[in-house]
Amino acid sequence: MSAFSLLPSSVFYKPSSSSSSPLLLSLPSSSCTHRSIIIIRSLSHPFRSTTHRCSNCSSSTTDYYYTSTSEDDDDDDDVVLDKDDHVPDRWDVLGLGQAMVDFSGIVNDDFLMRLGLEKGTRKIVNHEERGRVLQAMDGCSYKAAAGGSLSNTLVALARLGGHAMAGPALNVAMAGSIGGDPLGGFYRTKLRRANVSFLSAPVEEGTTGTVIVLTTSDAQRTMLAYQGTSSYINYDSSMESIISKTNVLVVEGYLFEFPDTIKTIKKICQVARDSGALVAVTASDVTCIERHYDDFWEIMENYADIVFANSDEARAFCHFSSEESPISSTQYLSHFVPLVSVTDGPRGSYVGVKGEALYIPPSPCVPVDTCGAGDAYASGILYGLLRGASDLKGMGTLAARVAATVVAQQGTRLRVQDAARLAESFALTPSPHADVGSDQISSL
């Protein structure tokens, strides 16, 4: 599969009637001035094309369809969606975060050297740099997906919560920012097919953010992030209404990278608390914590009921050295945040409550791809809370099993059949508290 470069232009997006063709890009020849769209080069399957001629200047216009393949994440295998697109009275979980389309490709070291990229690093790129890299990927094998750490968690949660034997299906949604471009439509469609509603309207003149993940034969990943509109969080009366009807708000830590969003996050967290919702914060990245340490702590101390972190991120929150045990950081954080979840890779994980840290052994598996393990673990914790679990050990063990299931496969998404199996096999003891809230956490 080859690449396409997105140039500053207006874009036409046409949702296809076929479920296998959610993305349609149109472009004229470079000489046509009647429709300025996009440049796509040397496209092959799963991109298919239909060519038309401009009636004004005889130039050709081509429609390119993106069709899902077996290489894509398996969102298309989800349960049947509500055909009426019914809006629930309340959302069980609303995630607030970056909406980014992932392009994951296999490249060699020469490719990275040719583009001047340092292997294994993560960097921010601008619009032109993104186009240059994607154009250079022409002929490489890669796939597109509605990516992001938060979306991984939300999709896994929706799949766990979609199993009828465990109770009513969970209502899961995401708010963020996508552009009014084909990639924005692609992102919304992919999430919706996974039973996660994307509630934010597109930014009409904006471009959807992307992350290019370049993997070499030694399994090292080089990541290039183009923010696009993803750093913008719109807060209006509609968003306020949505938050007031939410049981759990999950705020993605990557949003702290953008100073203009901090005030918006505080407003949203305040509305959530005033409405009785739980507020969860994901740490996202050690460098993000180090750069925005005070902002993180202001949110955690004043609003957060739950924090999700790995062992390095937990130590960064506490200013502990790398030699310090994750037990210590879990205990420390739980003095400030009611429920603390800290993962420690193959060594297991910890759940902290009231100054105590409960060790959760890892679930046995043969690791294939560790990317997305922490996202999956968070979905298990949230699932336990939403199902009214009172057994902290059981909740953590479920989370560890969900994470191990994702680690044992290629890709970051919990598969539908695995989610059903986990939900069936894991009976959580209900809490005497019927509603999700701070009282439930305090009873754990």
Cβ density class 322-351: b for 16+ within 10 Å, e for less: eeeebbebbbbbbeebbbbbbbbbeebbbb
Task: State residue 438's pLDDT score.
Answer: 61
| DSSP letter string, 79-93 | PPP-TT-PPPSSEEE
The crossing angle, in degrees rounded to 10, of helices 392-407 and 373-386 is: 150
Of 64-73, 80-89, 373-382, the one with minimum mean pLDDT is 64-73
Q: Is 242:178 a contact under the CB 8 Å cutoff?
A: no
φ, ψ dihedrals at 218, nearest 5°? -90, 15
Average pLDDT, the chain: 81
Tell me the per-residue pLDDT of 19-64, one tens digit each, with 9 for 90 and over. Answer: 344 444 433 333 444 333 333 333 333 334 444 445 555 544 433 3
Task: State residue 91's pLDDT score.
Answer: 97
Is the model's pLDDT at 218 over the cut of 80?
yes
Residues of the chain with CATH 3.40.1190.20: 75-98+146-202+232-442
User: In the chain, what percentage of residues exceed pLDDT 90?
Assistant: 57
Average pLDDT over residues 77-96: 74
Average pLDDT over residues 192-200: 96
Of 72-81, 92-101, 171-180, 214-223, the one with minimum mean pLDDT is 72-81
The structure tokens 């369809």 sit at: 65
Task: State residue 56's pLDDT score.
Answer: 53
Task: Give the alpha-carbon dihedral of 255, 203, 62, 7, to 10 degrees.
Answer: -60
Task: State residue 50's pLDDT score.
Answer: 43
Tell me the per-residue pLDDT of 287-328, one tens digit each, with 9 for 90 and over. Answer: 999 999 999 999 999 999 999 999 999 999 999 999 999 999
Is the model's pLDDT at 345 over the cut of 50?
yes
The domain 75-98+146-202+232-442 is classified under which CATH number: 3.40.50.1820, 3.40.1190.20, 3.40.50.720, 3.30.420.40? 3.40.1190.20
DSSP lists the bridge partners of residue 62 as 27, 51
